[in-house]
């Protein structure tokens, strides 16, 4: 397999590249991103590009990759401005699909990391979304709209390119020691926010299962749309209790206004889609990906438990991992210098 | 499916470990143990639960607390009597279909209480998703077995979990009707409940409930106020006239009688894409007529609203 990976410097991208490096059937891994990789890599080639991947078609043509893994979709709207998010998600995916499609393209497999955000969170929702059920109400936030749009592109792409196996993975909210999302921030606060009178059920997937699912989809032929989430849903009150947090209520009316001071004071940024989640919750049916052969390592409760243990460890031992720094010359030396003895060849 | 708990505290500590799949227990204990989903292996890191809230928001602890509070109302206020209780199945999914009445319907809690107490099986009550949007009340509603009425929810409960589900096909039109229309069943929706039962491969068990109509009769209602407040109906009840604001939470002590009719099996294959619309509509009407006839029959023999 010759693999092109977008978002190498994101948490998933890096871990996925590490996992793929260990496989013998993977010949080449090329990772693109705007920033330096944040994990040490053995043989992955890193190419810096702009956030909308305009260079991608050249890379695909030059390297003749057969598999494209698109992990660089942003589902966390608190890190970047709405405009940039739209550019990365929508325009980036358009460029990626343009590079991967076409009659003379070498690409035969495409894996895309989407989010359960495409289902939204509304009172009309079923308690467990199946893959073929649409949203109850139209998407209103930038991040949700952009992801819905991306999925529509992908459907068209799959129709136009029947020779490409397209796998779309919709991940539930992710918890893990190294993850920074509005919900992990909320759970790291001394008191966790809730909306008065609501105790929604949430579903999580562990960061290891995210990497596992992406690796599984890349190395197996499982075309189609799949939800990826741990078994079961847990009430927010119980999640907070497992993590050992008391809760503080935001008012149930004008909640977005009440959350605004928290954002300005940089306590926690709860964007509208997260506030809706804290009101109505969301669950997805994860059986289809299991039937496709994937085995989860964590249930939702297991994920929350692991997260809680990680927090306790960080409290006692500090959470400053020795940061990895990507040095281009050093990496180049190890990969290409004739002096380095390579056992793999 | 068995050995999925690894380095976790001993089971029995809380009594409701999350993925303890006890699918082979012949009769479901009332302590609701969520089943593993069909055709899958359990994850290795199952984690430890601190509450017994299941995927539907129902908590058996909360239910048993509610039941102990509700028991005197059930027994001494409404003096509920059941007929044909043996028609309720000890195992397997079934869709319970009942008539709906009383400005703030008193029938759902009575039915759920009686079945959970005497049959020992949890009952999930489908209701308007409006409840989900209410702070505090919505949470309590959900903890005590209320589930938003969505075909997917019903299918999962009936087909995948093989549970008992209670539905009122009249919707808000049942409790929203005037006292002079009592025991006149409204339209049974568009037959969605029949289609769900067919798709899930479970029988429908019709329930005829007498007493709810008189427990909170609507004497007058304002469509304009309802529209203004965005609620299905705005009633003035006899309870409010008698007791003032207290009438909002006090039922009149009407005698409750519930007749469980024999299960209706549809011999159609489950999990079909769609079912014949005319067949669905015919079955819907048949269920409605059956409940209506049973109600008339029960009313014919009733001597007093208060003493049965």
pLDDT along chain B (308 residues), means of 10: 39 38 42 45 80 94 94 96 96 96 92 96 93 93 95 96 96 90 92 96 97 93 87 89 90 96 95 93 96 96 91
CA A218 to chain B, closest CA, distance in angstroms equals 21
Q: Quick one: pLDDT at residue A39?
A: 85
Q: For the segment A124-155, what is each residue's pLDDT rounded down to a tens digit?
A: 999 999 999 999 999 999 999 999 999 999 99
Q: Quick one: pLDDT at residue B154?
A: 97
Asked if the Cβ–Cβ distance from A197 to B133 is below 8 Å, we say no
Asked if the Cβ–Cβ distance from A299 to B42 is below 8 Å, we say yes
B45 touches A at CB < 8 Å: yes
Q: Which residue of B has its CA nearest to A285?
A: B37
Are the C-beta atoms of residues B260 and B82 closer than 8 Å to each other? yes
A224 touches B at CB < 8 Å: no
Which residue matches tokens 């409701």?
A: B16
Asked if the Cβ–Cβ distance from A198 to B45 is below 8 Å, we say no
Distance in angstroms (rounded) separating the CA atoms of residues A75 and A180: 11
ipTM of this complex: 0.88
pTM comes to 0.87
Are the C-beta atoms of residues A38 and A178 closer than 8 Å to each other? no
In three state form, how does the secondary structure of A220-275 look? CCCCEEEEECCCCCEEHHHHHHHHCCEEEEECCCCHHHHHHHHHHCCCCCCCHHHH
Q: Quick one: pLDDT at residue A121?
A: 95
Q: Quick one: pLDDT at residue B24?
A: 41
Asked if the Cβ–Cβ distance from B47 to A123 is below 8 Å, we say no
Distance in angstroms (rounded) separating the CA atoms of residues A162 and B209: 57
φ, ψ for residue A110 (rounded to 5)?
-135, 125
User: Per the structure block, which two tokens stand in for B206?
Assistant: 């019709």
Asked if the Cβ–Cβ distance from B148 to A287 is below 8 Å, we say no
Are the C-beta atoms of residues A334 and A49 closer than 8 Å to each other? no
Q: For the segment B157-180, what is each residue's pLDDT rounded down to a tens digit?
A: 999 999 999 999 998 888 989 999
B49 touches A at CB < 8 Å: yes
**Residue B138 neighbours by CB distance under 10 Å:** 25
Residues 87-116 of A with CB under 8 A from B: none
Q: Quick one: pLDDT at residue A102?
A: 75
Q: Quick one: pLDDT at residue A242?
A: 95
B150 touches A at CB < 8 Å: yes
Distance in angstroms (rounded) separating the CA atoms of residues A46 and A5: 9
Q: Quick one: pLDDT at residue A319?
A: 60
Kindly tell me the sign of the dihedral angle through the C-alpha atoms of A330, A332, A334, A338.
negative
Kindly tell me the sign of the dihedral angle through the C-alpha atoms of A146, A150, A156, A157.
positive
> Cα–chain-centroid distance for residue A219?
18
B133 touches A at CB < 8 Å: yes
| Interface size, chain A vs chain B, as Cβ–Cβ contacts under 8 Å | 129
Distance in angstroms (rounded) separating the CA atoms of residues B252 and B216: 6
Of A128, A129, A242, the CB nearest to B55: A128
Mean pLDDT (chain B) is 86
A342 assigned to some structural domain: no
Are the C-beta atoms of residues A194 and A277 closer than 8 Å to each other? no
Q: Across-strand partners of B205?
A: B96
Q: Quick one: pLDDT at residue B75?
A: 96
How many helices (H) and strands (E) are present in chain B, helices listed first? 9, 9
Q: Quick one: pLDDT at residue A260?
A: 87
CA B81 to chain A, closest CA, distance in angstroms equals 34
Distance in angstroms (rounded) separating the CA atoms of residues B122 and B164: 7
Interface residue of A232, A255, A295 to substitute, partner B, most B CBs within 10 Å? A232
B196 touches A at CB < 8 Å: no
> Cα–chain-centroid distance for residue B27?
20
In chain B, what is the straight-line distance between the N-terminal and C-terminal CA atoms, in Å?
A: 51
| Class of domain B60-300 (CATH, top level) | alpha beta
CATH of the domain at A190: 3.40.50.720
Asked if the Cβ–Cβ distance from A133 to B152 is below 8 Å, we say yes
Distance in angstroms (rounded) separating the CA atoms of residues B6 and A306: 14
DSSP codes, A52-98: T-TTHHHHHHHHT-SEEEE------TTSS-HHHHHIIIIIHHHHHHH
**Residues of A with Cβ-Cβ distance to B45 under 8 angstroms:** 206, 297-299, 302-303, 305-306
Are the C-beta atoms of residues A49 and A89 closer than 8 Å to each other? no
Are the C-beta atoms of residues A171 and A282 closer than 8 Å to each other? no
- Nearest CA-CA partner of B126 in B233, B200, B23: B200
DSSP letter at B83 equals E
Show the domain range for A114.
2-336
Q: Which residue of A has its CA nearest to B55?
A: A233
Kindly tell me the sign of the dihedral angle through the C-alpha atoms of A280, A135, A230, A23.
negative
Q: Quick one: pLDDT at residue B233?
A: 87
User: Per the structure block, which two tokens stand in for B114?
Assistant: 């009686």
A246 assigned to some structural domain: yes
B207 touches A at CB < 8 Å: no
- Nearest CA-CA partner of B194 in B204, B186, B185: B204
- Nearest CA-CA partner of A116 in A102, A99, A133, A104: A133
Asked if the Cβ–Cβ distance from B132 to A232 is below 8 Å, we say no
Which stretches in chain A have pLDDT values below 70?
319-324, 342-345
Phi-psi region of B193 (alpha: psi -120 to 50; beta: other; left: phi over 0): alpha
Are the C-beta atoms of residues B143 and A291 closer than 8 Å to each other? no
Q: For the segment B212-245, what is each residue's pLDDT rounded down to a tens digit?
A: 999 999 999 888 888 888 888 888 999 999 998 8
For the purposes of burial, counting CB atoms within 10 Å of the CB of B144, is it exposed (0-12), middle (13-18) or buried (19 or more)? buried
List chain B domain ranges: 1-50, 60-300
CA B40 to chain A, closest CA, distance in angstroms equals 6
**Residues of B with Cβ-Cβ distance to A195 under 8 angstroms:** 135
Distance in angstroms (rounded) separating the CA atoms of residues A204 and A300: 5
B53 touches A at CB < 8 Å: yes
Asked if the Cβ–Cβ distance from B43 to A201 is below 8 Å, we say no
CA A328 to chain B, closest CA, distance in angstroms equals 38
Residues 253-312 of A with CB under 8 A from B: 280, 283, 285-287, 290-291, 295-306
Asked if the Cβ–Cβ distance from A197 to B136 is below 8 Å, we say yes
Sequence-ordered alpha helix ranges (H) in chain B: 60-72, 107-119, 137-143, 151-155, 192-200, 212-215, 223-229, 238-243, 277-300
Residue A313's alpha-carbon distances to A177, A306, A310, A324, B9, in angstroms, are: 10, 11, 5, 21, 19
Q: Count structural domains, chain A.
A: 1
Kindly tell me the sign of the dihedral angle through the C-alpha atoms of A236, A237, A238, A242.
positive
Distance in angstroms (rounded) separating the CA atoms of residues B10 and B110: 37
Distance in angstroms (rounded) separating the CA atoms of residues B97 and B39: 30
Of A197, A199, A238, the CB nearest to B50: A238
Residue B18's alpha-carbon distances to A129, A200, A208, B305, in angstroms, are: 20, 17, 20, 46
Q: Quick one: pLDDT at residue B41?
A: 54
**Residues of A with Cβ-Cβ distance to B57 under 8 angstroms:** 199, 201, 235
φ, ψ for residue B208 (rounded to 5)?
-105, 125
Of B34, B48, B134, the CB nearest to A232: B34
A54 touches B at CB < 8 Å: no
Of A130, A198, A304, the CB nearest to B152: A130
């Amino acid at each position: 397999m010759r693999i092109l990976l977008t978002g190498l410097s994101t948490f998933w991208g890096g871990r996925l590249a590490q996992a793929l490096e260990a496989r013998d059937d993977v010949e080449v891994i090329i990772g693109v991103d705007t920033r330096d990789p944040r994990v040490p890599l053995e043989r992955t080639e890193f190419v810096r590009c702009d956030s909308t991947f305009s260079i991608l078609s050249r890379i695909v043509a030059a390297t003749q990759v057969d598999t494209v893994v698109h992990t660089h979709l942003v589902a966390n709207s608190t890190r970047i401005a709405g405009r940039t998010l739209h550019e990365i998600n929508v325009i980036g995916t358009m460029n990626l699909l343009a590079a991967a499609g076409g009659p003379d393209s070498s690409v035969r497999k495409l894996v895309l990391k989407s989010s359960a955000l495409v289902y939204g969170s509304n009172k009309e929702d079923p308690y467990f979304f199946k893959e073929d059920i649409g949203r109850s109400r139209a998407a209103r936030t930038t991040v949700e709209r952009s992801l819905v749009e991306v999925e529509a592109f992908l459907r068209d792409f799959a129709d136009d390119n029947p020779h490409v196996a397209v796998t779309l993975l919709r991940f539930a909210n992710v918890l893990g020691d190294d993850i920074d999302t509005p919900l992990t921030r909320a759970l790291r606060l001394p008191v966790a926010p809730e909306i008065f009178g609501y105790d929604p059920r949430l579903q999580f997937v562990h960061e290891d299962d995210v990497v596992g699912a992406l690796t599984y989809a890349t190395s197996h032929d499982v075309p189609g749309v799949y939800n990826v989430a741990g078994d079961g849903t847990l009430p927010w009150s119980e999640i907070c209790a497992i993590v050992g947090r008391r809760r503080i209520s935001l008012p149930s009316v004008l909640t977005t206004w009440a959350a605004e001071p928290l954002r300005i004071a940089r306590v926690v940024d709860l964007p509208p889609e997260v506030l809706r989640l804290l009101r109505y919750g969301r669950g997805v049916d994860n059986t289809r990906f299991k039937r496709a052969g994937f085995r989860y390592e964590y249930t939702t409760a297991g994920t929350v438990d692991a997260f809680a243990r990680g927090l306790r460890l960080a409290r006692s031992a500090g959470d400053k991992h020795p940061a990895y720094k990507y040095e281009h010359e050093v990496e180049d030396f190890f990969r290409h210098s004739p002096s380095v003895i390579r056992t793999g060849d | 499916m068995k050995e999925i708990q690894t380095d976790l505290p001993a089971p029995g500590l809380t009594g409701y470990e999350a993925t303890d799949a006890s699918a082979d227990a012949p009769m479901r204990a009332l302590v609701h143990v969520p089943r593993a989903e069909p055709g899958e292996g359990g994850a290795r890191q199952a984690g430890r639960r601190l509450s017994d809230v299941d995927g539907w928001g129902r908590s058996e602890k909360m239910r048993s607390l509610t039941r102990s509070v509700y028991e005197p109302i059930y027994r001494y206020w409404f003096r509920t009597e059941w007929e044909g209780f043996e028609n309720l199945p000890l195992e397997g999914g079934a869709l319970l279909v009942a008539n709906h009445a009383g400005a703030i319907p008193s029938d759902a809690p009575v039915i759920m209480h009686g079945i959970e107490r005497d049959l020992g099986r949890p009952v999930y009550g489908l209701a308007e998703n409006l409840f989900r949007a209410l702070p505090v009340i919505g949470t309590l509603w959900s903890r005590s077995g209320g589930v938003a009425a969505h075909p997917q929810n019903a299918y999962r409960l009936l087909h995948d979990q093989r549970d008992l589900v209670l539905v009122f096909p009249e919707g808000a039109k049942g409790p929203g009707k005037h006292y002079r229309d009592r025991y006149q069943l409204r339209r049974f929706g568009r037959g969605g409940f029949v289609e769900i039962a067919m798709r899930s491969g479970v029988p429908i068990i019709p329930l005829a409930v007498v007493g709810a109509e008189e427990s909170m009769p609507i004497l007058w209602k304002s469509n304009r106020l309802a529209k203004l407040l965005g609620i299905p109906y705005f009633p003035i009840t006899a309870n409010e006239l008698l007791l003032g604001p207290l009438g909002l939470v006090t039922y009149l002590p009407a005698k409750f009688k519930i007749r469980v009719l024999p299960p209706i099996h549809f011999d159609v294959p489950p999990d079909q894409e769609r079912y014949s619309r005319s067949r669905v509509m015919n079955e819907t009407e048949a269920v409605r007529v059956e409940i209506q006839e049973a109600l008339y029959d029960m009313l014919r023999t009733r001597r007093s609203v208060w003493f049965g």
